[in-house]
Structure 1
Amino acid sequence: MPDRGRTLLGPALALVHTGRAPTRSALTAALDVTRATAGAVAAELAALGLVTVDPHPVGTGRGRPSHRLGITPEGPVVLAAQLHADGLSVALAGLGGDLGEPVHHPLPAATGPEPMLGAIAEAGAALVRGSRRRCLGAALALPNPVTEPEGAALAALHFGWPSGTPVAALFAQQLNAVDLGPRARHPLPTAVANDANLAALAEHRHGAGRDARHLLLVTSGHRGVGGALVVDGRLHTGSTGLALEVGHLTVDRCGRDCPCGNRGCLNVETDPQALLAAAGRTPTPGRPLLAEARALARTADHDPDARKAVDEVAKLLGIGLAGLANILNPDRIVLSGLHRDLLTAAPDHLRSVVADRSLWGRICQVRIVPAELEYAELVGAAELAWEPYLADPQLAAR
């Protein structure tokens, strides 16, 4: 293949991966090349075992019939892992946002970095060994800031890890020390990033954020609040990976103490614990906070205490979103985790608070939509693991 075609392999794979080039004619138009060049690029991706080209062209409504493009069903996978306050999760993921069934485990008794990352490595290795598909990489989503490019965890408040723990290096060490089986690359490339950043990347490529130019994602998972910004398809992570810590935006100056040292942060005023407290509920021992809070939000239509709590927390969330909209001017806000349930339970209330308190008001009201992906953090971790191959698909053959 000429050099021109090789430089197009990455962009072409990214187009098929995100569903923007379902046919060869769509690939031709998106790459702005000739049909022959697009055909050669698709054939090369097929030879690498990444893409399928349907040999029977189909009509697209006008012009000549075109060949359908898809992801190879038995092609390679990556390992996606997530560590959160209530446990850990692992899954295998192919291209195209195709996430296998996640496997969830409780946290180990020892919560230091090495035991926890070791538990993730063991759980992930079991999936890799049990698969017939080749594993090309792994990535981990963490519920705390992660520096770039070092991959160090800062303010790991949920686990009490020392600030600056070299999670990227430890994750690579632990994962490559276990038996990954004969179908995994050795050593297996690894990466680590903040979970909200990865959720935003996943929603932008495969979920509610498709086609958004400036996408803001705000989420409350098992504890606390996270946020991320995608601008023109790329995550905005700041100079060292620490941008968009939206959870520490003050929304109530007389509110709860936050672990960061401030008071009334979005982080402690709109997370699962805050919703349960607003309804006068005590968390059930042994039950994940997120599941309990989501169940409470879904009863707002017939439970007065739940309705009061949802409206109260939705107002504070709206105040925070309005401030972020004033600063970032996104064209879409995606709400995930518990915040998705608050939007469902109080859509008009939440949107009106944002409109009333944002600089542009109702004239330029930003779209606020619920997240679409059930396991966005894991899908995002898979995206991170796939990044080297989306940049250079020929790496998959090595």
Structure 2
Amino acid sequence: MNGKVSTTRTKLERGRSALGPALELVHTGRAPTRAVLTSELGVTRATAGAVAAELEALGLIRVDSRPGSAAGSQGRPSHRLSVRESGPVAIAAQVHADGFRAALVGLGGRLVATAPGCVTVTADPAQVIGEVVDDCARLLRDSGLRCVGAGLAVPSAVAEPEGTALNPLHIAWPAGAPVSEIFADCVREAGIPGPAFTGNDVNLAALAEHRHGAGRGAQHLLCVATGHRGVGGALVLDGRLHTGSSGLALEVGHLTVNPEGRPCHCGGRGCLDVETDPLAFLVAARREPGPEESLLKQAGDLLRTEYEDAAVRGAAEELIDRLGLGLAGLVNILNPDRIILGGLHRALLDADPERLRAVVADRSLWGRSGSVPILPCTLDHNSLVGAAELAWQPVLDDPLAALA
């Protein structure tokens, strides 16, 4: 009798330990059917079926036991697995140089709802974060959905474990602002359930792209992107963000690519941050930045609509060459198996992909021995989706404990 009880307990424990990995497989689109789930988990069909049923009972996924058969296929098709559209959501918030935005994000990186962002960011982080959290709370009340937690993306390196924004260069916040503490307090005061997390916007964009976008399947993923101002970078290794010993790794915006170039906010000169961001492009194209739209939108629109103009094309080539030089240095140091580009850098890649790839290959050791794929980011609002990933992580780690 004791042996049977022990065996039953072991099976239950094995099934529970598989819940998180199973949910992550469905969440990232790597297990569209129960047959694939069985194979990926390395368990029996019965165990995979029980795990899928438990996740369905928790309101996280949907199991379709009667999927249609593909034309010409034989045998009974496997149960299809998908995230539940009416399931829980995570609160996601983003602050950038031109405003902020709030969203609800479901499993699978699905944007459930967004609120229009403001266009001004004051020098008081508590005021700005409080306003975006209020927008989040309104979205949540209107949706009637369950919330698992909240994530915030900010345009600054975030030191850990303190949770302070060390270099919010393009917003007027003081260096060392305790953004994690402020966000957690605002979330609690707004009555939003679940834990609250804060991270750098490009780090979170890379995490989202690795799980749901252009970075899927990469083992050593390098992401470089322009924000509304400045340049950021991130590295995802074996599915996890590499943030260094205290959260400050991959400040790629301060690589020097033009020693005689523009003064940088960091005290250097000719950094990627000021040589390849939207403002640098507008200046190089001899266009006066306007106050009515974000610099990122102005630069992107100019590149798409006036690329045949000699000044615009020349500015694009100038920025592509400097970006390629920076990427080549990163390839030499990090040896990534894929590079993804976001913001204005994505638009520059689209404008002249061969030029950028040629510069990287010519100036990097590993680029010469074997080309590194350079791809555009594919997700809209990827920093928001990444902020939600922070809130979803405890659920992916242990669904039963997180949703108890």
Give the TM-score band, short-chain normalised.
over 0.9
Report whether the alignment pairs 1:340 with 2:346.
yes
SS of 2:152's partner is strand
Displacement after TM superposition at 1:158 (Å): 2.2
Secondary structure of the structure 1 residue equivalent to 2:289: coil
TM-score (norm 2): 0.94
For 1:7, give the aligned amino acid. Answer: S
In the other structure, the counterpart of 2:197 is 191
Quick check: which one's helix share is greater? Answer: 2
Q: What is residue 274 of structure 2 aligned with on the other side?
A: 268
Output aligned runs, 1:270-289, within 5 Å: 270-289=276-295
1:7-33 CA-to-partner distances (Å, cap 9, x unmatched) read 110000000000000100000000000
> Cα RMSD over matched residues?
1.5
Tell me, in whole angstroms, the C-alpha distance in 2 between the residues paired with 1:115 and 1:23.
46
Alignment of 1:329 onto 2:357? no
Q: Measured at CA, do residues 23 and 317 of structure 1 come closer, stay the same or move farther in structure 2, by a change above 3 Å?
A: same
C-alpha distance 227-271 of structure 1, shift in aligned 2 (>3 A):
same
Are 1:296 and 2:302 counterparts? yes
Report the residue type matching 1:374 in the other structure: D
Partner in structure 1 of residue 360 of structure 2? 354
**Offset, 1:286:** 2.5
SS in 2 for 1:2: helix
Amino acid of the residue matched to residue 265 of structure 1? C
Q: Trace 1:1-398 onto structure 2 (pairs within 5 A).
A: 2-56=12-66, 59=69, 61=73, 65-107=77-119, 110-178=122-190, 180=191, 184-185=192-193, 188-398=194-404
Comparing 122-131 with 82-91, which one deviates more in the overlay?
A: 122-131
Residue 104 (structure 1) shift = 2.6
**Aligned-partner Cα distance in 2 for 1:326–1:102:** 39
> How far apart, CA to CA, are the structure 2 residues paired with 1:209 and 1:63?
34
Aligned residues: 392
Residue 331 of structure 2 contacts residue 366 of structure 2 at CA under 8 Å; is this kept in 1?
no
Matched AA of 1:73: E
CA drift at 1:287: 1.6
Instruction: Tell me, yes or no, if the aligned pair for 1:108 and 1:115 is still in contact at 8 Å.
Output: no
Counterpart-to-counterpart distance in 2, 1:7 and 1:360: 40
- Structure 2: tracts of 5 or more residues without a match: 1-10
**Deviation of 1:108 (Å):** 5.2
* 8 A contact 2:155–2:201 mirrored in 1: yes
* Separation in structure 1 between the aligned mates of residue 23 and residue 298 of structure 2, nearest angstrom: 40
- Between the aligned partners of 1:391 and 1:275, the Cα distance in structure 2 is 42
- Whole-Å separation in 1 of the counterparts to 2:332 and 2:305: 32
Letter in 2 for 1:341: A
Aligned amino acid, residue 123 of structure 1 = D
Q: Deviations over 1:88-125 (max 9, x none)?
A: 00110100111124323225574211111111111111
Identity in percent: 59
Paired residue secondary structure (2:370): coil
Deviation at 1:55, TM superposition (A): 2.1
**Residues 331-373 of structure 1, C-alpha deviation per residue, up to 9 Å, x if partnerless?**
1100000000000111111111111101134431100001100
Distance in 2 between the 1:311 and 1:243 partners? 29
| Structure 2 CA distance for aligned equivalents of residues 278 and 223 of structure 1 | 15
Query: Counterpart of 2:341 in 1: which secondary structure?
Result: strand
Q: Which amino acid aligns with 2:165?
A: A
| Displacement of 1:225 | 0.1
The residue type paired with residue 349 of structure 1 is: R
- The alignment's TM-score, normalised by the length of structure 1, stands at 0.95
Equivalent pair of 1:24/1:67 in contact (CA under 8 Å): yes
Measure, in 1, the Cα distance between the counterparts of 2:120 and 2:343.
24
Aligned-partner Cα distance in 1 for 2:75–2:243 = 43
What is the CA-CA distance between 1:57 and the residue it aligns to?
A: 5.1
Q: What letter is aligned with 1:105? A: G
